[in-house]
Amino acid sequence: MPQINLCFLWHMHQPFYKDLASGEYKLPWTRMHALKDYYGMVRILEDFPKVKQTFNLVPSMMAQVEEYAAGQARDPFLDLALKPAEHLTEDEREHLLQHSFYSDPAHMIYRYPRYGELFDARAAQKKSGARNVITGAPARRSPYFNLVEARSDGTVGLSKVAEPPIVRRQDAPRCFDMNASIYAWRVAAFLENPSVFYQDTQLFEMPEERSVDIDSDLDFTLVELLLRKRLAFTETTS
């Protein structure tokens, strides 16, 4: 049988992002790749000792990695990410929102559901131009149809009464349970009026199974069951 001599060569490279005049890093790519790629790829090879591969590490990349590892790199992106949110200026907040989603959405953002939801909620707020976006999941009960509230005299009635009365749930306006998962405001709007609801508030819909408020033992049990189901599915498909 013919034999093929195959060489796997990984060329690890990064431009030199450090501004020698200011001493600051202009882009965070070396740090970001160092967190998830350089070591990880070599570590995977430990599970395949018979597979031989070559890694070529470019000096301009290694000089930056060593500076980050020594805690000597001046990285404005990292400095802002580590700064407490309450101390961020409006410009710093906008900078973080603009530059925190450089990763490829299909392969690097949506693989983490919470990161994907944050990405989509931010995009929805930006696209709509609304002062804020809140998140919620389809409500299990409708205030127009089967959600009642107690009156002071002990009687109960529908929370919202429509005219004419709604007799089918399918005809009722869509209602949502707020899940307090993500709030996306325009910073200036919030500073002017720190409210959750404005006339132009928009809703970003999230799936019900990712919107369970843990307020009781039953809620906790439900979340445990959902997590076990997801784990079992992951194990059977991996």
Sign of the Cα pseudo-torsion (183, 217, 221, 159, in order)? negative
The tokens describing 222, both together, are 């439900």
Query: What was the pLDDT predicted at 162?
Result: 87
H helix intervals, 83-171: 90-99, 113-128
Domain extent listing, the chain: 207-238
Query: What was the pLDDT predicted at 238?
Result: 64
Model pTM? 0.62
> By CB neighbour count within 10 A (0-12 exposed, 13-18 middle, 19+ buried), where does 13 fall?
exposed
Query: What was the pLDDT predicted at 104?
Result: 84
- pLDDT, mean of each 10-residue run, the chain (238 residues): 88 92 92 85 88 91 94 92 89 84 84 88 88 92 89 92 84 90 86 93 91 89 89 77
CB 75 within 8 A of CB 28: yes
**Token match 């970003």: residue?**
204
